[in-house]
Amino acid sequence: MHFESPIKRRHSRQIMVGNVPVGGGAPISIQSMTNTETCDVDATVAQIHAIADAGADIVRVSIPSMDAAEAFKKIRESVSIPLVADIHFDYKIALKVAEYGVDCLRINPGNIGNKDRIRAVVDCARDKNIPIRIGVNAGSLEKDLQKKYGEPTPDALVESAFRQIQYFDELDFHEYKLSLKASDIFMTVEAYRKIASQIDNPLHLGITEAGGLRSGTVKSSIGLGLLLMDGIGDTLRVSLAADPVQEIKVGWDMLRSLKLRNRGINFIACPSCSRQNFDVIKTMNELEERLEDIVVPMDVAVIGCIVNGPGEAKEADIGLAGGSPNNLIYQDGKPNSKTKNETLVDDLEKMIRGKAALKEKELANIIVKS
C-alpha cells in the first residue's frame, strides 16, 4: 500500500529547533517531555536517550527552578537531540538556560509576567538565535481573559495567543511557533483552526492532559487527527500519563497512518475470528516486541485466514495468510514459502529482517547517488 498522502499541508514559515526544521514544509516533527526530576541529571539523560531511540526529533525538559537550570547545563552537555526548556513564572530561568545552549524556549503568556520580562526573554533569544514557543494553555489563561470569557473557550485561547503575537511583532521577533492547548478536543481543534487561517507561523499541536495510555491515545488521535487531516500542524506532542516513550510511538503511529511520515513497520493485521488458522493476537504481540528496532519503512500484513489474507499480503512487503495445513508467506506480493504455526513467528521475523536489510541498502544507494 504505497501511495502519497492526499493531505495538503498549510503553508507556514520555518524555524530551526537545533538542527530540526519546523514548518515551511518540513516533515512534521515528533516530540515528548521528560517526567524525571530534572535535577537528577543521570535519570533525565537516560530518559532523553530512551525517547530519542524511540524516534523523537525534539525533547522538552521542565526547568522549574534555578537548580534545575544548573542541572540542564549538564544535561545539555550529555545529549545531542534538540532540547526545549519549559519555563513558567520565572523569566530569569529562561535567560539562564539560554546561556547553556538550549535549542528552544517555551514560555506561557498566562504566567511568565509583564511585557518587560517577555522583552528580556525575546532580546536574549534574538541575541542567541533561539526560537520561542508561545504555549497558550486553557488551564492557565490570563486572569482578565478568564474574567472576560467566564471559562476557557477557543476565542479566549486565540485572544491570548494574539496578545503575544502582537507584542512579538512590535519587538520585530518572528522566530517562534505557537500552541493553543486544552484537554477538551472540540476547544482545541476550533482554536487551532481559527488561528491557522490568520497567521503563517508554525503550529505545535497537542491535546493537553489527555489522560492515560489508552484514553489519552484515543483523545489525542481524534483531536490531532482532525487537525492533521486539515493540513494543520508542523510539530506535535502526544501528552500521556505514561512513559514518554509511548508518546513517541503513538505520534509515529498517527503520522504513519496519515502517510505524513514513515518509520518502522506498518502492520496490517486482522482482529481475528474463528476462521483464523493461527493465533493472530499472540503472533502480533510477539512480532511488535521483537521488531521494535527496525526503523526502515515497510508494510507487513498478518491475516489469519484465506478470506482477506492473500489480498492484503499481495499489497505488503511481507505478508502472511493463514492456511491449512500450512500458512503462506508472501514477499513483494508473491508467494514465497510455507510455514507451520510452531515456527511462524521465527520464520516471519527472519524474512522481515532480511527485507529490512535490503531496503536499507536501497535507501543508502539512493542517498549516495543524490
Is 312 annotated to bind a ligand? Reply is yes
Q: Which helix (H) or strand (E) holds 85?
A: strand 83-87
41 in Cβ contact with 78 (< 8 Å): yes
**SS3 state of residue 40:** coil
What is the rounded distance in angstroms from the CA atom of residue 176 to the CA atom of residue 118?
13
Distances (CA, A) of 55 to 250, 252, 305, 323, 326: 11, 8, 33, 36, 36
The 10 Å CB-count burial string (b at 16+, else e) for 253-279 is bbbbebebbbebbbbbbbebeeebbbb
138 in Cβ contact with 184 (< 8 Å): yes
Which grid coordinates are listed for 191? 482554536
- DSSP labels, 109-121: TTTS-SHHHHHHH
Is 362 annotated to bind a ligand? Reply is no
What is the rounded distance in angstroms from the CA atom of residue 185 to the CA atom of residue 34?
24
Is 104 annotated to bind a ligand? Reply is no
What is the rounded distance in angstroms from the CA atom of residue 160 to the CA atom of residue 72?
29
- Are β-strands 298-303 and 318-321 bridged in parallel, bridged antiparallel, or unpaired? parallel
DSSP state, residue 272: -
Residue with cell 527496525: 294
A 10 A CB-CB count for 155 gives 15
Is 124 annotated to bind a ligand? Reply is no
Q: Please state the residue numbers annotated as binding site for [4Fe-4S] cluster.
A: 270, 273, 305, 312
> Where is the binding site, in residues?
270, 273, 305, 312
